[in-house]
């Protein structure tokens, strides 16, 4: 037995008595294996009791065979743990910064950025491409869109403020011929975005199948309601 490779099998309870004792003796003086075991324990708890996908209905689960199955399970868990370590920083950054919204066929990645001192925050998503801005005198909503032409259509990045929540909104690309396509959708919680009590703007990005040259405007609508803002482009 190579003790350094038995962390996964030990966490799953696949080692026989002799190998288990040998691993525990090794574990007492090996910080690397101790750290690996701590990382794998939650996964092992989830996997225990899970039957093979191909098990026939009504048949009792077979007892684990340490010699036959231990190596495969260990390799699987080691590969999983390695991938988790390699991507941990990326996962934390993305999980803390971005939410993915898929509504009405539009795909949007949204980030609301707030200043640490409570002032207006700087957008965490750059507004790139051709910029167009507008403010609606009736609703007070204000926004800027950045448009980037692509072979498949147009990338639309929206910076929106002065929208009070709670309300469900969507950005709609409108072509010169009147064709409408939902670019992205999102929920505005109370008190809102870019308003007193929550000065951060909503910055969200999505895409429209309408070519850049065919676009006439971007509408910001309340779902099944009125238009808060129209930005001519």
For 26, the enclosing helix (H) or strand (E) is: helix 17-27
Query: How far lies 217's CA from each of 93, 137, 147, in Å?
Result: 33, 17, 11
> In terms of domains, do 84 and 143 share one?
no
Average pLDDT, the chain: 73
pLDDT tens-digit profile of 73-84?
A: 555 555 555 555
Q: What is the distance between the alpha carbons of residues 229 and 162, in angstroms, rounded to a whole number?
A: 11
> In terms of domains, do 134 and 81 share one?
no
Structural domain of 122: 99-232
pLDDT tens-digit profile of 217-232?
A: 999 999 999 999 999 9
- Classified as helix, coil or strand, 110 is strand
pLDDT tens-digit profile of 113-125?
A: 333 334 444 445 6
pLDDT tens-digit profile of 183-211?
A: 999 999 999 999 999 999 999 999 999 99
pLDDT band at 62 (very low <50, low <70, confident <90, very high): very low
For 225, the token pair is 């309601």
- Whether residue 218 is contained in a domain is answered as yes
**Nearest residue to 182 (alpha-carbon basis) of 99, 107, 109, 100:** 107
Q: For residue 135, report the phi and psi dihedrals to the nearest 5 degrees.
A: -135, 135
> In terms of domains, do 84 and 182 share one?
no
Going across the sheet that includes 153-161, the strands are 99-103, 106-112, 202-208, 153-161, 142-150, 130-135
> In terms of domains, do 82 and 117 share one?
no
pLDDT of 51 above 90: no
Which pLDDT does position 122 carry in this prediction?
Answer: 43
pTM for the whole structure: 0.51
End-of-domain residue from the set 74, 95, 116: 95
Length of the chain counted residue by residue: 233
Describe the chain by its helix, strand, coil percentages, rounded to 5. 30, 35, 35
Which pLDDT does position 94 carry in this prediction?
Answer: 37
8 exposed, middle or buried (CB, 10 Å; 0-12, 13-18, 19+)? buried
């Amino acid at each position: 037995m190579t003790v350094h490779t038995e962390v996964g099998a030990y966490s799953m309870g696949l080692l026989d008595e002799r190998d288990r004792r040998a691993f525990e003796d090794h574990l007492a003086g090996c910080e690397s294996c101790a750290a690996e075991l701590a990382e794998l324990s939650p996964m092992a708890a989830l996997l225990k009791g899970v039957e093979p996908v191909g098990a026939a209905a009504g048949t009792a689960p077979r007892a684990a065979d340490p010699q036959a199955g231990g190596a495969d399970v260990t390799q699987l868990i080691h590969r999983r743990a390695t991938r988790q370590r390699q991507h941990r920083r990326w996962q934390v950054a993305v999980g803390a910064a971005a939410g993915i919204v898929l509504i009405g066929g539009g795909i949007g990645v949204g980030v609301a950025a707030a200043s640490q001192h409570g002032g207006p925050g700087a957008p965490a998503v750059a507004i790139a491409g051709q910029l167009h801005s507008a403010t609606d005198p009736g609703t007070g909503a204000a926004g800027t869109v950045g448009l980037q032409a692509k072979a498949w259509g147009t990338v639309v990045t929206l910076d929106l403020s002065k929208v009070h929540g709670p309300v469900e909104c969507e950005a709609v690309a409108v072509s010169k011929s009147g064709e409408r396509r939902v670019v992205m959708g999102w929920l505005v919680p109370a008190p809102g975005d870019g308003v007193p009590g929550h000065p951060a703007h909503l910055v969200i990005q999505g895409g429209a199948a309408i070519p850049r040259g065919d676009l006439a405007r971007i509408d910001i609508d309340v779902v099944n309601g009125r238009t808060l803002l129209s930005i001519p482009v």
